Protein backbone atom coordinates (compact mmCIF):
# COMPACT_ATOMS: atom_id res chain seq x y z
CA UNK A 1 0.00 0.00 0.00
CA UNK A 2 1.30 3.44 -0.98
CA UNK A 3 0.47 5.00 2.42
CA UNK A 4 2.78 2.82 4.54
CA UNK A 5 6.10 4.16 3.21
CA UNK A 6 4.89 7.71 3.87
CA UNK A 7 3.60 6.79 7.34
CA UNK A 8 6.99 5.25 8.19
CA UNK A 9 8.84 8.24 6.73
CA UNK A 10 6.77 10.55 8.91
CA UNK A 11 7.65 8.45 11.96
CA UNK A 12 11.33 8.88 11.01
CA UNK A 13 11.03 12.60 10.18
CA UNK A 14 13.22 13.84 13.03
CA UNK A 15 16.33 12.08 11.68
CA UNK A 16 16.76 10.14 14.95
CA UNK A 17 16.74 6.37 15.51
CA UNK A 18 13.36 4.66 15.97
CA UNK A 19 13.00 0.94 16.52
CA UNK A 20 10.90 -1.09 14.08
CA UNK A 21 8.85 -2.26 17.03
CA UNK A 22 8.08 1.28 18.24
CA UNK A 23 7.07 2.40 14.75
CA UNK A 24 4.90 -0.70 14.26
CA UNK A 25 3.21 -0.04 17.60
CA UNK A 26 2.53 3.64 16.87
CA UNK A 27 1.11 2.81 13.42
CA UNK A 28 -0.78 -0.27 14.61
CA UNK A 29 0.79 -2.63 12.08
CA UNK A 30 3.26 -5.51 11.96
CA UNK A 31 7.05 -5.18 11.96
CA UNK A 32 7.08 -6.96 8.59
CA UNK A 33 5.05 -4.12 7.13
CA UNK A 34 7.57 -1.63 8.51
CA UNK A 35 10.41 -3.61 6.95
CA UNK A 36 8.59 -3.66 3.60
CA UNK A 37 7.92 0.07 3.81
CA UNK A 38 11.61 0.76 4.50
CA UNK A 39 12.45 -1.38 1.48
CA UNK A 40 10.09 0.72 -0.70
CA UNK A 41 11.55 3.96 0.66
CA UNK A 42 15.01 2.80 -0.38
CA UNK A 43 14.26 1.14 -3.70
CA UNK A 44 11.38 3.21 -5.08
CA UNK A 45 11.89 6.60 -3.45
CA UNK A 46 15.69 6.36 -3.64
CA UNK A 47 16.16 7.53 -0.03
CA UNK A 48 18.76 5.74 2.09
CA UNK A 49 17.52 4.54 5.49
CA UNK A 50 20.20 3.66 8.06
CA UNK A 51 19.43 0.44 9.88
CA UNK A 52 21.42 -0.45 13.02
CA UNK A 53 20.78 -3.59 15.05
CA UNK A 54 19.49 -2.69 18.51
CA UNK A 55 18.78 0.94 17.56
CA UNK A 56 16.37 0.71 14.62
CA UNK A 57 16.00 2.93 11.59
CA UNK A 58 17.12 6.47 10.94
CA UNK A 59 17.03 8.88 7.97
CA UNK A 60 20.29 10.59 6.94
CA UNK A 61 18.68 13.97 7.74
CA UNK A 62 15.37 15.23 9.13
CA UNK A 63 12.51 15.56 6.60
CA UNK A 64 10.96 18.95 5.95
CA UNK A 65 7.42 18.03 4.88
CA UNK A 66 5.21 20.23 2.78
CA UNK A 67 2.62 21.70 5.09
CA UNK A 68 -0.35 23.93 4.24
CA UNK A 69 -0.30 25.84 7.56
CA UNK A 70 3.45 26.52 7.27
CA UNK A 71 3.02 27.75 3.68
CA UNK A 72 0.10 29.98 4.64
CA UNK A 73 2.08 31.46 7.55
CA UNK A 74 4.46 33.15 5.08
CA UNK A 75 1.84 34.39 2.60
CA UNK A 76 1.39 38.17 2.33
CA UNK A 77 -1.92 39.37 3.77
CA UNK A 78 -2.68 41.04 0.41
CA UNK A 79 -2.80 37.77 -1.52
CA UNK A 80 -3.41 35.08 1.06
CA UNK A 81 -7.15 34.83 0.36
CA UNK A 82 -6.62 34.31 -3.36
CA UNK A 83 -4.67 31.06 -2.90
CA UNK A 84 -6.31 27.72 -2.12
CA UNK A 85 -3.46 25.39 -1.23
CA UNK A 86 -3.36 21.60 -1.15
CA UNK A 87 -0.43 19.25 -0.64
CA UNK A 88 -0.22 15.58 -1.62
CA UNK A 89 2.25 12.85 -0.79
CA UNK A 90 2.26 11.37 -4.27
CA UNK A 91 0.49 12.18 -7.54
CA UNK A 92 1.18 11.36 -11.18
CA UNK A 93 1.86 15.02 -12.00
CA UNK A 94 0.59 18.15 -10.29
CA UNK A 95 0.06 19.67 -13.75
CA UNK A 96 -2.02 16.70 -14.88
CA UNK A 97 -4.13 16.92 -11.73
CA UNK A 98 -4.89 20.63 -12.11
CA UNK A 99 -5.43 20.39 -15.88
CA UNK A 100 -8.20 17.88 -15.27
CA UNK A 101 -9.88 20.55 -13.11
CA UNK A 102 -9.14 23.53 -15.35
CA UNK A 103 -12.15 22.81 -17.56
CA UNK A 104 -14.53 22.16 -14.70
CA UNK A 105 -14.72 23.27 -11.09
CA UNK A 106 -11.04 24.16 -10.56
CA UNK A 107 -10.75 27.35 -8.52
CA UNK A 108 -8.75 30.33 -9.75
CA UNK A 109 -5.70 30.35 -7.45
CA UNK A 110 -5.76 26.62 -6.70
CA UNK A 111 -2.27 25.36 -5.81
CA UNK A 112 -1.20 21.73 -5.59
CA UNK A 113 2.25 20.81 -4.27
CA UNK A 114 3.48 17.22 -4.09
CA UNK A 115 6.23 15.35 -2.26
CA UNK A 116 6.61 12.91 -5.15
CA UNK A 117 5.43 12.68 -8.75
CA UNK A 118 5.27 9.31 -10.48
CA UNK A 119 4.90 10.88 -13.94
CA UNK A 120 6.31 14.40 -13.61
CA UNK A 121 6.41 16.17 -16.96
CA UNK A 122 8.69 18.77 -18.53
CA UNK A 123 8.56 20.81 -21.72
CA UNK A 124 8.77 19.23 -25.16
CA UNK A 125 7.57 15.86 -23.87
CA UNK A 126 10.46 15.43 -21.42
CA UNK A 127 10.16 13.86 -17.98
CA UNK A 128 10.74 15.71 -14.71
CA UNK A 129 12.25 13.47 -12.06
CA UNK A 130 13.05 14.36 -8.46
CA UNK A 131 13.91 12.46 -5.32
CA UNK A 132 11.70 12.89 -2.29
CA UNK A 133 12.48 16.13 -0.45
CA UNK A 134 15.08 17.38 -2.97
CA UNK A 135 12.77 19.50 -5.09
CA UNK A 136 9.85 21.89 -4.70
CA UNK A 137 7.20 20.75 -7.19
CA UNK A 138 3.88 22.49 -7.53
CA UNK A 139 1.30 23.69 -10.00
CA UNK A 140 -1.22 26.47 -9.85
CA UNK A 141 -4.40 27.19 -11.76
CA UNK A 142 -4.92 30.78 -12.88
CA UNK A 143 -7.82 32.08 -14.95
CA UNK A 144 -7.01 34.95 -17.33
CA UNK A 145 -9.41 37.38 -18.98
CA UNK A 146 -7.16 37.35 -22.06
CA UNK A 147 -7.37 34.52 -24.59
CA UNK A 148 -4.71 31.93 -25.38
CA UNK A 149 -3.45 34.07 -28.27
CA UNK A 150 -2.24 36.73 -25.83
CA UNK A 151 -0.45 34.45 -23.37
CA UNK A 152 2.76 33.91 -25.35
CA UNK A 153 5.07 35.72 -22.90
CA UNK A 154 3.56 34.20 -19.78
CA UNK A 155 6.30 31.62 -19.25
CA UNK A 156 8.92 34.40 -19.30
CA UNK A 157 6.98 36.45 -16.74
CA UNK A 158 6.72 33.40 -14.47
CA UNK A 159 10.47 32.77 -14.87
CA UNK A 160 11.13 36.36 -13.86
CA UNK A 161 8.98 35.93 -10.72
CA UNK A 162 11.02 32.85 -9.78
CA UNK A 163 14.32 34.61 -10.44
CA UNK A 164 13.34 37.61 -8.31
CA UNK A 165 12.51 35.41 -5.32
CA UNK A 166 15.59 33.21 -5.71
CA UNK A 167 17.86 36.25 -6.03
CA UNK A 168 16.32 37.80 -2.91
CA UNK A 169 17.26 34.59 -1.10
CA UNK A 170 20.86 35.00 -2.30
CA UNK A 171 21.00 32.69 -5.34
CA UNK A 172 22.56 34.52 -8.34
CA UNK A 173 20.25 32.86 -10.88
CA UNK A 174 19.80 33.87 -14.51
CA UNK A 175 17.08 33.26 -17.07
CA UNK A 176 17.22 31.20 -20.24
CA UNK A 177 14.59 31.79 -22.90
CA UNK A 178 11.83 30.80 -22.78
CA UNK A 179 11.46 29.59 -19.24
CA UNK A 180 14.42 27.98 -17.52
CA UNK A 181 16.12 29.32 -14.42
CA UNK A 182 19.88 28.73 -14.42
CA UNK A 183 22.43 28.72 -11.64
CA UNK A 184 26.08 28.70 -12.70
CA UNK A 185 24.92 28.05 -16.26
CA UNK A 186 23.05 24.84 -15.34
CA UNK A 187 19.31 24.40 -15.03
CA UNK A 188 18.01 24.80 -11.49
CA UNK A 189 14.30 25.26 -12.13
CA UNK A 190 11.84 24.57 -14.92
CA UNK A 191 8.38 25.80 -15.79
CA UNK A 192 5.69 23.91 -17.67
CA UNK A 193 2.72 26.02 -18.75
CA UNK A 194 -0.34 24.26 -20.11
CA UNK A 195 -3.36 26.06 -21.46
CA UNK A 196 -7.01 25.37 -21.76
CA UNK A 197 -9.54 27.72 -23.37
CA UNK A 198 -10.18 29.66 -26.58
CA UNK A 199 -7.88 31.84 -28.67
CA UNK A 200 -9.85 34.94 -27.69
CA UNK A 201 -10.50 34.10 -24.05
CA UNK A 202 -10.96 33.66 -21.22
CA UNK A 203 -8.18 31.10 -20.64
CA UNK A 204 -7.47 28.69 -17.80
CA UNK A 205 -3.76 28.15 -17.35
CA UNK A 206 -1.88 25.56 -15.32
CA UNK A 207 1.59 26.74 -14.35
CA UNK A 208 3.84 23.92 -13.13
CA UNK A 209 7.12 24.69 -11.42
CA UNK A 210 9.97 22.46 -10.28
CA UNK A 211 12.91 23.90 -8.31
CA UNK A 212 15.89 21.80 -7.26
CA UNK A 213 16.84 22.45 -3.65
CA UNK A 214 19.39 19.65 -3.59
CA UNK A 215 21.19 18.17 -6.60
CA UNK A 216 19.02 15.53 -8.24
CA UNK A 217 20.49 12.13 -9.03
CA UNK A 218 20.24 10.10 -12.22
CA UNK A 219 19.25 12.91 -14.57
CA UNK A 220 20.62 13.03 -18.07
CA UNK A 221 21.69 16.68 -18.17
CA UNK A 222 23.88 19.05 -16.13
CA UNK A 223 21.66 20.51 -13.42
CA UNK A 224 22.17 22.67 -10.38
CA UNK A 225 20.44 23.18 -7.05
CA UNK A 226 19.82 25.97 -4.57
CA UNK A 227 22.03 24.27 -1.96
CA UNK A 228 25.07 24.51 -4.26
CA UNK A 229 25.23 28.28 -3.70
CA UNK A 230 24.73 27.89 0.05
CA UNK A 231 21.07 28.94 0.18
CA UNK A 232 19.07 26.96 2.74
CA UNK A 233 15.32 27.57 2.74
CA UNK A 234 12.42 25.30 3.58
CA UNK A 235 10.20 24.28 0.68
CA UNK A 236 7.20 25.69 2.58
CA UNK A 237 8.74 29.14 2.91
CA UNK A 238 10.02 29.09 -0.66
CA UNK A 239 6.56 28.19 -1.96
CA UNK A 240 4.96 31.01 0.03
CA UNK A 241 7.51 33.56 -1.24
CA UNK A 242 6.91 32.39 -4.80
CA UNK A 243 3.12 32.65 -4.43
CA UNK A 244 3.48 36.19 -3.04
CA UNK A 245 5.56 37.23 -6.06
CA UNK A 246 3.53 35.30 -8.63
CA UNK A 247 0.30 36.88 -7.41
CA UNK A 248 1.46 40.37 -8.43
CA UNK A 249 3.12 39.20 -11.65
CA UNK A 250 0.07 37.25 -12.83
CA UNK A 251 -2.27 40.14 -12.06
CA UNK A 252 -0.09 42.58 -14.01
CA UNK A 253 0.22 40.08 -16.86
CA UNK A 254 -3.55 39.72 -16.99
CA UNK A 255 -4.05 43.46 -17.44
CA UNK A 256 -0.92 44.45 -19.41
CA UNK A 257 0.67 41.32 -20.89
CA UNK A 258 4.44 40.74 -20.96
CA UNK A 259 5.56 44.23 -22.03
CA UNK A 260 6.04 45.65 -18.47
CA UNK A 261 8.41 42.73 -17.68
CA UNK A 262 10.57 42.75 -20.83
CA UNK A 263 13.37 45.00 -19.53
CA UNK A 264 13.63 43.20 -16.19
CA UNK A 265 13.68 39.85 -18.01
CA UNK A 266 16.52 40.94 -20.32
CA UNK A 267 18.53 42.27 -17.35
CA UNK A 268 18.61 38.71 -15.98
CA UNK A 269 19.04 36.88 -19.29
CA UNK A 270 22.02 34.51 -19.35
CA UNK A 271 22.40 34.86 -23.12
CA UNK A 272 21.92 38.57 -23.73
CA UNK A 273 24.24 39.55 -26.63
CA UNK A 274 25.78 36.07 -26.57
CA UNK A 275 26.18 33.63 -29.48
CA UNK A 276 23.43 30.98 -29.41
CA UNK A 277 22.16 28.04 -31.43
CA UNK A 278 18.44 27.41 -31.83
CA UNK A 279 17.22 23.87 -32.53
CA UNK A 280 13.80 22.94 -33.83
CA UNK A 281 11.82 19.74 -33.83
CA UNK A 282 12.06 19.88 -37.65
CA UNK A 283 14.66 21.56 -39.83
CA UNK A 284 18.21 22.81 -39.47
CA UNK A 285 19.46 24.67 -36.38
CA UNK A 286 20.05 28.41 -36.63
CA UNK A 287 22.98 30.29 -35.11
CA UNK A 288 23.18 33.94 -34.21
CA UNK A 289 23.50 36.43 -31.37
CA UNK A 290 20.67 36.73 -28.81
CA UNK A 291 19.36 40.30 -28.70
CA UNK A 292 16.73 40.07 -26.02
CA UNK A 293 12.97 39.68 -26.21
CA UNK A 294 10.10 41.55 -27.84
CA UNK A 295 7.10 42.91 -25.93
CA UNK A 296 5.25 39.63 -26.57
CA UNK A 297 8.12 37.49 -25.22
CA UNK A 298 9.43 36.40 -28.64
CA UNK A 299 13.22 35.90 -28.83
CA UNK A 300 15.19 38.27 -31.06
CA UNK A 301 18.31 36.82 -32.70
CA UNK A 302 20.69 38.50 -35.13
CA UNK A 303 21.55 35.86 -37.74
CA UNK A 304 23.55 35.91 -40.98
CA UNK A 305 20.30 36.75 -42.78
CA UNK A 306 19.33 39.59 -40.43
CA UNK A 307 17.28 39.86 -37.25
CA UNK A 308 14.84 36.98 -36.76
CA UNK A 309 12.03 36.55 -34.24
CA UNK A 310 11.31 33.20 -32.59
CA UNK A 311 8.13 32.38 -30.74
CA UNK A 312 7.75 30.12 -27.71
CA UNK A 313 7.07 26.62 -28.97
CA UNK A 314 9.17 23.85 -30.36
CA UNK A 315 12.46 25.77 -30.07
CA UNK A 316 15.44 24.89 -27.85
CA UNK A 317 18.20 27.37 -27.18
CA UNK A 318 21.85 26.50 -26.50
CA UNK A 319 24.72 28.77 -25.65
CA UNK A 320 27.62 28.74 -28.09
CA UNK A 321 29.84 30.65 -25.67
C1 LIG B 1 10.83 21.86 -17.85
O2 LIG B 1 11.87 22.38 -17.44
O3 LIG B 1 10.81 21.21 -18.91
C4 LIG B 1 9.58 22.05 -17.05
C5 LIG B 1 9.62 21.26 -15.78
C6 LIG B 1 8.38 21.45 -14.94
C7 LIG B 1 8.33 20.49 -13.78
C8 LIG B 1 7.17 20.79 -12.87
S9 LIG B 1 7.25 19.86 -11.37
C10 LIG B 1 5.63 20.35 -10.96
C11 LIG B 1 4.81 20.33 -12.23
N12 LIG B 1 4.26 19.00 -12.50
C13 LIG B 1 4.78 18.45 -13.59
O14 LIG B 1 4.49 17.32 -14.01
N15 LIG B 1 5.68 19.27 -14.14
C16 LIG B 1 5.79 20.52 -13.42
Condensed to tens digits (0 to 9), the pLDDT of residues 64-120 reads 999 999 999 999 999 999 999 999 999 999 999 999 999 888 899 999 999 999 999
The predicted pLDDT at position 321 comes to 60
The predicted pLDDT at position 150 comes to 83
Top CATH class of 68-267 equals alpha beta
Closest CA to 156 of 273, 272, 285, 257: 257
114 neighbors 87 (Cβ within 8 angstroms): yes
Q: Where are the domains of the chain?
A: 3-58, 68-267, 275-319
Distance CA 183, CA 204 (A): 31
Ligand 1, residue 120: give the atom nearest the CA: 14
Distance CA 154, CA 169 (A): 23
Instruction: Taking residues 137-145, report their average pLDDT.
Output: 95
What percent of the chain is predicted at pLDDT more than 70? 96
The CATH fold assigned to 275-319 is SH3 type barrels. (2.30.30)
Task: Give how far Cα 239 sits from Cα of 15, 141, 250, Å.
Answer: 23, 15, 16
Instruction: Taking residues 192-209, report their average pLDDT.
Output: 86
Q: Which residues are catalytic?
A: 123, 187, 318
The predicted pLDDT at position 311 comes to 87
pLDDT tens digits, one per residue of 278-314: 988 788 899 999 999 999 999 999 999 999 999 876 5
Instruction: Taking residues 212-231, report their average pLDDT.
Output: 84
Closest CA to 253 of 140, 151, 171, 169: 151
The predicted pLDDT at position 190 comes to 95
Residue among 118, 190, 242 whose CB has most ligand 1 atoms within 8 A, to mutate: 190
* DSSP H or E stretch at residue 179: none
- CA 210 to ligand 1 centroid distance, Å: 5
Instruction: Taking residues 247-266, report their average pLDDT.
Output: 96
The CATH number of 3-58 is 1.10.10.10
Best-predicted range by mean pLDDT among 89-93, 198-202, 219-223?
A: 89-93
Amino acid sequence: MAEWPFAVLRALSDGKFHSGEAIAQSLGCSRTLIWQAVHTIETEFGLPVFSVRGQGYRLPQPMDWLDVAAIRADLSPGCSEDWTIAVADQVDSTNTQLLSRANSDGLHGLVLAAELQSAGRGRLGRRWQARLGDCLMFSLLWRFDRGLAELAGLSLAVGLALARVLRQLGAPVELKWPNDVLLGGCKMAGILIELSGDALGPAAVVIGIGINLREPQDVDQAVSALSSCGVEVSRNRLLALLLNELHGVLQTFNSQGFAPFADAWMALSAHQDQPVRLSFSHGEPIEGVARGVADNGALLVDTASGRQTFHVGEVSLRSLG
